[in-house]
């Protein structure tokens, strides 16, 4: 497994459960990934590239189309993409970054959650029939878990059936996200995000807690993210925007962030 250095903790746990050899390449360093593929593709019958589409802490977006093309260079390479933060909010029909970048059919394991934008519980993997049958019969974390309540399944089906009708909401979210990112950058702070997940890196843990409390006093439910979730010295405020924000609320948020 070749996994991006910043994939989510749940992916890291899954990799550990697999017992496969794993090398984690530098975050979004596809030159290094290419080097690793060239070095190891003869040594293993199967290599799986693992990435998120929108990274959960930095909010930056992976070039999935590039990864899909890279995968095609080697017949024994597969691509695993976690779309947890993109399903519902990106793509013309809300199917995520893979849809947005036109490479849905090139991804072998397209995973996501029914939480977050879909406001339900559970998760999914879109894959071939062969892989599906293998997972259903061999995946311990599926076999030995509790089935989802029928109510939640019905709600998920209800939301999915309307996903492609919410393009106006997705456009509004994109507009608000761009506005907030630009405000952070104009205040002199770095902002790696290109999505609705927007970090404001403060640095020290205690300072981050105080900044979060200040934002909460101003009416914004902003939480501090600290080690071990992020590396030492990169504690941050992690802002996750929604389409329900009004223009006035977004303007107030930008003003509050500019004065941190």
Residue 50: enclosing H or E segment and its boundaries? strand 47-52
Q: Do 181 and 221 sit in the same domain of this protein? A: yes
How far is residue 63's CA from residue 48's CA, in Å, rounded to a whole number?
16
CATH classification at residue 91: 3.40.640.10
The pLDDT value recorded for residue 204 is 95
CATH classification at residue 240: 3.90.1150.10
Mean of all residue pLDDT scores within the chain: 95
The pLDDT value recorded for residue 209 is 97
The pLDDT value recorded for residue 15 is 95
Q: Do 95 and 145 sit in the same domain of this protein? A: yes
Q: Which of 149, 164, 179 is the last residue of a domain?
A: 164
The pLDDT value recorded for residue 35 is 97
Q: Do 158 and 180 sit in the same domain of this protein? A: no
Q: Which of 164, 196, 227 is the last residue of a domain?
A: 164
How far is residue 93's CA from residue 175's CA, in Å, rounded to a whole number?
17
What is the tens place of the pLDDT at every residue in 71-90?
999 999 999 999 999 999 99
Q: Do 16 and 110 sit in the same domain of this protein? A: yes
Q: Do 187 and 96 sit in the same domain of this protein? A: no
Check pLDDT > 90 for residue 260: no
Number of Cβ atoms within 10 Å of the Cβ of 197: 22
Q: Do 11 and 138 sit in the same domain of this protein? A: yes
Q: Do 172 and 133 sit in the same domain of this protein? A: no
How many domains does one find in the chain? Answer: 2
Q: Do 241 and 124 sit in the same domain of this protein? A: no
Q: Do 50 and 31 sit in the same domain of this protein? A: yes
Residue 171: enclosing H or E segment and its boundaries? helix 167-186
How far is residue 109's CA from residue 69's CA, in Å, rounded to a whole number?
15
Q: Which domain holds residue 72?
A: 2-164
Contact 114, 120 (CB under 8 A): yes
Q: Do 244 and 130 sit in the same domain of this protein? A: no
Q: Mean pLDDT across the stretch 114-125? A: 95
Q: Do 141 and 205 sit in the same domain of this protein? A: no
Q: Which of 164, 188, 215 is the last residue of a domain?
A: 164
Q: Do 19 and 77 sit in the same domain of this protein? A: yes
206 confidence band (pLDDT: 50, 70, 90)? very high
Check pLDDT > 90 for residue 212: yes
β strands within 127-225, DSSP E: 197-203, 223-225
Number of Cβ atoms within 10 Å of the Cβ of 128: 10
The pLDDT value recorded for residue 259 is 85
Q: Mean pLDDT across the stretch 218-235? A: 94
Check pLDDT > 90 for residue 196: yes
The pLDDT value recorded for residue 246 is 96
How far is residue 115's CA from residue 195's CA, in Å, rounded to a whole number?
18
């Amino acid at each position: 497994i070749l996994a991006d250095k910043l994939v989510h903790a749940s992916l890291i746990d899954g990799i550990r459960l697999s017992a496969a050899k794993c090398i984690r390449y530098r975050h979004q360093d596809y030159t290094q990934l290419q080097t690793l593929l060239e070095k190891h593709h003869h040594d293993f019958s199967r290599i799986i590239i693992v990435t998120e589409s929108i990274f959960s802490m930095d909010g930056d977006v992976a070039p999935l189309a590039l990864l899909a093309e890279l995968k095609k260079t080697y017949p024994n390479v597969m691509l695993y993409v976690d779309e947890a933060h993109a399903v519902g909010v990106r793509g013309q029909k809300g199917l995520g970054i893979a849809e947005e970048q036109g490479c849905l059919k090139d991804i072998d394991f397209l995973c996501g959650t029914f939480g977050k934008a879909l406001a339900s519980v559970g998760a999914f993997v879109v894959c071939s029939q062969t892989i599906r049958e293998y997972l259903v019969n061999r995946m311990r974390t599926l076999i030995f878990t509790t089935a989802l309540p029928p109510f939640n399944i019905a709600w998920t089906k209800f939301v999915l059936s309307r996903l492609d009708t919410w393009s106006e909401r997705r456009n509004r979210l994109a507009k608000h996200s761009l506005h907030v990112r630009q405000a952070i950058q104009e205040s002199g702070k770095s902002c790696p995000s290109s999505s609705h997940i927007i970090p404001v890196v403060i640095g020290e843990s205690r300072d981050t807690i105080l900044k979060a409390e200040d934002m909460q006093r101003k009416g914004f439910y902003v939480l501090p993210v600290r080690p071990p979730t992020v590396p030492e010295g990169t504690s941050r405020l992690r802002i996750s925007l929604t389409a329900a924000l009004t223009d006035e609320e977004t303007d107030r948020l930008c003003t509050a962030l500019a004065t941190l």
